[in-house]
Amino acid sequence: MSIKHLEGLIAAPFTPMGADGALNPSLIPGYYQLLKSNGVTGAFICGSTGEGVSLTLKEKMAVAEAWASTTGDDPDFKVMTLLGGTCIADCQELARHAQAIGLYGVSFTAPFYFKPASVAMLARACQAVAGAVPDLPFYYYHIPVLTGVDFPMIELLEAIDGRTPNFAGIKYTHEDFMDYLSCLRFRNGRYDMLWGRDESMLSALALGAAGAVGSTFNYAAPLYHRLIEAFGKGDLTLAGSLQQRSIDMIRLLGKYGGIATGKSYMKLIGMDCGDFRLPVRNMGPADFELFRKDVAAIGFETFRSVTEKIKA
């Protein structure tokens, strides 16, 4: 199959939850409009940010169906879903479901309990899942900080190349720029290498990245559009300054407990996606007020996503 390279910002959406911790898919149409109006070109659902590992099989299907029904009339907005990584049969079932409801593509991460002992075994796992939907773009999700599986991705491409026609590329959420560049240049740039570290986007752009998947694109897309524009114009001073603002924003994630802090950013832009499920720690009311002050201090209001289209 022809491998399309995606461009621009692809958000990794939070899965909306109600006060009782149940799914709240009624927010997804508004969520899509928020992303679309801020120039985001797609959604990578049920990933780390989307709590895919905390969702049941039925819940993952429900989330995928909500996004499919919401975005089905917009071929320019690409939605792919993370299938999981521990149970191959479940991943195959979710992949076939994604194809049936009309999603753009699917993604799979390394099995992280019984870990593959070699790149060859990881490639076999990818082929088993990709083979269930041979006409759908398949992406491997490389996030060794969470999976503990840290093979060089250039070795995975070498093992996959020519054996899995619908292997489209890799969502690369790691800091190995040597490996990333080798993947970008492999087979004259055949594979789509989506960058997955928002805090180092500028470095990835310098290497040739064209598309990125990120959680902070949900609530700060204008910041990254300005960064990309500055880089494209050769204004590295401005681009570096904008990347630093991204870093300042992301440092607050760590200060206030990690990934769940992203949902607090979403509350500040007017979209309450609820809390993260156990065992992730959520922010209490007192910390939220401290967080609100820290967010104001970094000038979040000047670059946050808004419901109306951002003017250049």
User: Do 19 and 274 contact (CB within 8 A), yes or no?
Assistant: yes
Tell me how far apart the alpha carbons of residues 3 and 66 are, in angstroms, rounded to a whole number. Answer: 26
Rg of the chain over all Cα atoms, to the nearest angstrom: 19
User: Positive or negative, the Cα torsion across 114, 115, 116, 118?
Assistant: negative
> Mind giving me the DSSP string for 71-95?
HTT-TTSEEEEE--SS-HHHHHHHH
Which amino acids are annotated catalytic? 141, 171
Measured N-to-C along each axis, helices 217-232 and 261-268 cross at an angle, to the nearest 10 degrees, of 80
Question: What number of other Cβ atoms are within 10 A of residue 226's Cβ?
Answer: 18
Burial annotation 62-97 (CB, 10 A radius, 16+ → b, else e): ebbbbbbebbeeeeebbbbbbbbbeebeebbbbbeb
> In this structure, what are the phi and psi dihedrals at residue 48, rounded to the nearest 5 degrees?
-60, -50
The tokens for 236 are 């590295």
User: Do 95 and 72 contact (CB within 8 A), yes or no?
Assistant: no
